[in-house]
A and B are shown apart, each in its own frame.
Chain A
Amino acid sequence: MKLDKISQNLLEKIAKIHEIPNGAVSFRRNGKGEIVRSTPSIEIVRKEDGSGINIFVHSSCKNESCHIPVVVSEEDFFDLVYNDFYIEDGASVTIVAGCGVHSNGSGGHDGIHTFHIGKNAVVNYIENHIAIGNGSHKVLNPTTNITIGENSVMNMETNQLGGVDYSNRITKATLKENATINITEKILTNKFNVAKTDFKVHLIGKNSKCNIVSRSVARDESEQVFKSTIIGKNECFGHVECDGIVLDRAQISSVPRVDAKSNLASLSHEAAIGKIASEQIIKLMTLGLSEKEAENKIIECFLK
């Protein structure tokens, strides 16, 4: 399939690919599933009502990857999609999702992803969000609902590095015995962007573990709200760490919450928000960078 320039550019940014890759793929553009391709281990099936796809990752899947990018390039188009992932016992898979919006007016995408992860599985889930164009109402609202079965691990990485005028990311996870979730979130906002994030993790099973790391940079007049709640109902471990750099007239608020509903739950949170530590800038200046170069380097590496 031949891709237009805008789609190519967006795909490059969200999935570091220039063309539709090999292997399991679902490519959705302006609300239409344009390509759906399965492999013996990863079966992708369109939902009959066109609202999204069901992805079945079979036990036979070992270290395969699956790309499911979404592109919105039509002006004033708002896409709503429901994707459901069924990860069978013992599977290990990397899923690269993400959405790119190009609009000179408004445009957006609400992706509701639901993961049903069986036992002894490993899921790497990468979600990159980007918006370009002159529009001032480019909206992305990803919702992720996750159930993780016994002994399974989910590594979730979300990146939203600029251009998105408004986003509201909601992630809910429930973990069974020995299940683990590691979440890394990176956000850069500028101009008048507003980015909201809300994580809620229920540690139900014995020895379940959750580690959330959020790093964000807010520039110009942008605003970020980071909320996280970890609920421990068993012998479990949970930690959330939120580091934010605030520049210009931007604002970040961080609301980490931990609820121990068992005296065996070990939960903690850390939040550090502020301007770039001046001694870090000074250190890089002693290595030869100018003040501006030092600031840019610190931000670039912080979000890398």
Chain B
Amino acid sequence: MIELNNITYIVEDKGNKKVILDNISIKFEDNCVTAITGQNGSGKSTLTKIIIGIIRPTSGQILYNGTDITNYSIDERVKLGINYAFQQPITFKGLTIKELIDIATKQENSIPKACEYLSRVGICAKDYINRDFDKTLSGGEQKRVELALALAQNGNTVIFDEPEAGIDIWSFDRLNKIFEKNKSYIVVSHQTKFLSSADKIVVMQNGKIVQYDDAKTVLKNLKHTTCKKVEE
């Protein structure tokens, strides 16, 4: 279980102190899909980056199954089983999709095996596997590979930051379906369709958590301005 205690993140912005996360405490339940929603700029990405260790909080504590991991590096957290997919995928010059899959899975995969990971997110694998993971891929393609990598790592807690952004609903539905029962997922999302399929919903506003409850309960009271309706 991931537990945040009194997490505050403050940055220096043009000489002024800006509070990005304001004393956040939350326990993410195991074996459950927790959606994080809230307006742009409310601190969702920052919160998830603090969990994986990309951002270090100004104060507060992060526990993983009771262990204090506040000072763990990113890779140490990955070794514990926390995986992360970026809102904006990061590209490389010279690294192929296959090589990234091999890194993520810590083994040299056969082409069919590597393709399997890609077909999970609905991309025709053979065409991609040996391509560089660079800017010549479309935004949607980059995003799907990003999701495939996080899933390929096979940790027990997977964090997705706006996985639906830039990819079509069809493939996003598939992603939703391959969530495994005995794992935990923390998913930043604006889509009502996704939110209603989640177990729990966290609503953020101005760096604070303003709601955290069962999805049904939260959705009843949710202001519609914070999330987008999916066009069917």
Contacts and interface: CB of A to CB of B under 8 A. Distances in A.
B50 interface: no
A302 to B, nearest CB: 5
Contacts of A297: 95, 103
Interface in B67-123: 73-75, 78-79, 83-84, 86, 90, 92-95, 99-100, 103-104, 106
Given A282-B54, A282-B74, A283-B86, A288 B103 contact: yes
Given A287-B100, A288-B103, A215 B94 contact: yes
A291 B54 CA distance: 12
Contacts of B92: 280, 283, 298, 301
Interface in A255-304: 277, 279-280, 282-291, 297-298, 301-304
Size class of the A contact interface (CB-based, 8 Å): 20 to 34
B78 A287 contact: yes
Given A289-B75, A290-B75, A291-B73, A284 B94 contact: no
A2 to B, nearest CB: 36
A64 interface: no
A286 B103 contact: no
A137 to B, nearest CB: 32
B37 interface: no
A70 B54 CA distance: 49
A286 B99 contact: no
A286 B93 contact: no
A304 B153 contact: no
B149 interface: yes
A47 to B, nearest CB: 40
A75 interface: no
Nearest to B52: A286
A177 to B, nearest CB: 30
Contacts of A304: 94
B75 A288 contact: yes
Contact of A289 (B52, B54, B94, B103): B103
A285 B74 contact: yes
Contact of B75 (A215, A277, A285): A285
Contacts of B84: 286
Nearest to B88: A279
Contacts of A279: 90
Given A298-B95, A304-B94, A285 B78 contact: yes
Nearest to B132: A301
Nearest to B75: A285
B154 to A, nearest CB: 11
A277 B93 CA distance: 11
A287 B106 CA distance: 9
A285 B93 contact: no
A284 B104 CA distance: 8
Contacts of A298: 92, 95
A298 B93 CA distance: 8
Interface of B: 52, 54, 73-75, 78-79, 83-84, 86, 90, 92-95, 99-100, 103-104, 106, 149, 153
18 contacts: A215-B94, A280-B90, A282-B54, A282-B90, A285-B74, A285-B78, A286-B52, A286-B54, A286-B83, A287-B78, A287-B104, A288-B75, A288-B78, A290-B75, A291-B73, A302-B93, A302-B94, A304-B94
Closest 6 CB pairs of A and B: A285-B74, A301-B94, A283-B90, A302-B94, A301-B95, A288-B78
Interface of A: 215, 243, 277, 279-280, 282-291, 297-298, 301-304
Given A280-B92, A287-B78, A304-B94, 11 more contacts: A280-B90, A283-B90, A285-B78, A286-B83, A287-B103, A288-B103, A288-B106, A297-B95, A298-B95, A301-B94, A302-B93
